């Protein structure tokens, strides 16, 4: 039986005390235990940023990509070895900013990966400039007169693009968040979990207290159906005095692996590779 201690890493944690990333880290480990996954069954992929440090703090396979480039290696790994449980841990800047193009087109591909976005509405690693999700009017160390742009609405964007699983969690409630991660991993296809994550150093607006006064779990509303896309889109836009947590939208769709026929073939890692003389190919680049 897998236990939380099986995922303990020896790497020293470099997050600020009180950082919301700790709650996400806790939730990820809880989810892996609930799923019964072993460290060798997991691949954690990240880009650059505070969120990207999480794979180092979990004993499992790890791949660090470039800034905004967490999704391409995650997708490639899943296609090559579909037995892997691939979880991307990325930030709002890394995923929705630098990686926005990959975000859009991998939703379209619908590869079976789970994307956990640490959404602190600020660039934390680079010390506090506005990210794509920073609220309009918010003053930062760079936007000293306030942010003039409207924020990206990632859940609504994902639903509009056709994502099959769209959820929101809160790092202040790791138990609930872990259930969303479990559901995202069990969903066949691209799963997005946007996590509201306070940055205690650079975002003095969206604090734990700010969220605690606003967040609520949509599963408390027995009339809400996450299978209704139009209603889910409206729910995804809900922000301000009330912010919904939970599975906002879920529907079954053909995955990339289904459409491409990869599911009918042995995983790429099991295919034999012939010895090929690549000297002529290399000569073309000299």
The residue segments making up the domain with residue 242 are 11-283
**Contact present, 206 and 227 (Cβ < 8 Å):** no
- Quick one: which of 5, 20, 32, 42 has its CA closest to 179? 32
| pLDDT of res. 78 | 95
| pLDDT of res. 285 | 83
**What stretches in the chain show pLDDT beneath 70?**
none
Q: Is residue 5 part of a domain?
A: no
Question: What is the model's pTM?
Answer: 0.93
Q: Is residue 37 part of a domain?
A: yes
Q: Encoding tokens for residue 9?
A: 């890493």
| pLDDT of res. 265 | 83
Q: Is residue 140 part of a domain?
A: yes
| pLDDT of res. 220 | 86
| pLDDT of res. 183 | 98
| pLDDT of res. 266 | 81
What's the 3-state SS for 100-126? HHHHHHHHHHCCCCEEEEEECCCCCCC
Residue 183: which CATH number?
3.40.50.970
| pLDDT of res. 284 | 85
| pLDDT of res. 179 | 98
Q: Is residue 204 part of a domain?
A: yes
Q: Is residue 98 part of a domain?
A: yes
**Contact present, 271 and 277 (Cβ < 8 Å):** no
What domain count does the chain have?
A: 1
| pLDDT of res. 178 | 98
Q: Is residue 117 part of a domain?
A: yes
| pLDDT of res. 275 | 76
Q: Is residue 257 part of a domain?
A: yes
Q: Is residue 1 part of a domain?
A: no
| pLDDT of res. 280 | 81
């Amino acid at each position: 039986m897998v236990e939380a201690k099986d995922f303990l890493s020896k790497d020293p944690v470099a997050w600020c005390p009180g950082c919301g990333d700790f709650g996400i880290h806790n939730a990820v480990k809880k989810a892996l235990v609930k799923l019964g996954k072993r460290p060798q069954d997991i691949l954690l992929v990240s880009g650059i940023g505070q969120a990207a440090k999480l794979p180092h703090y979990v004993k499992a396979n790890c791949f660090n990509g470039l800034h905004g480039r967490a999704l391409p290696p995650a997708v490639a790994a899943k296609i090559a070895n579909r037995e892997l449980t691939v979880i991307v841990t990325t930030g709002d800047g890394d995923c929705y900013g630098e990686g926005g193009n990959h975000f859009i087109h991998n939703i379209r591909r619908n590869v079976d990966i789970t994307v956990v976005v640490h959404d602190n509405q600020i660039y934390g690693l680079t010390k506090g400039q506005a990210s794509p999700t920073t609220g309009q009017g918010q003053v930062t160390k760079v936007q000293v007169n306030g942010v003039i742009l409207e924020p990206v609405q990632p859940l609504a964007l994902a639903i509009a693009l056709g994502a099959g699983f769209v959820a929101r969690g809160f790092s202040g409630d790791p138990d609930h968040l872990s259930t969303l991660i479990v559901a995202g991993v069990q969903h066949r296809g691209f799963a997005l979990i946007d996590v509201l994550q306070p940055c205690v150093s650079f975002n003095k607006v969206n604090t734990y207290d700010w969220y605690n006064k606003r967040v609520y779990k949509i599963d408390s509303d027995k009339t809400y159906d996450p299978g209704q896309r139009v209603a889910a889109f409206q729910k995804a836009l809900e922000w301000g005095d009330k912010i919904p947590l939970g599975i906002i939208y879920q529907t079954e769709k053909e995955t990339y692996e289904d459409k491409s026929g990869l599911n009918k073939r042995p995983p790429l890692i099991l295919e034999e590779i012939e010895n090929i003389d690549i000297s002529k190919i290399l000569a073309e680049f000299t």
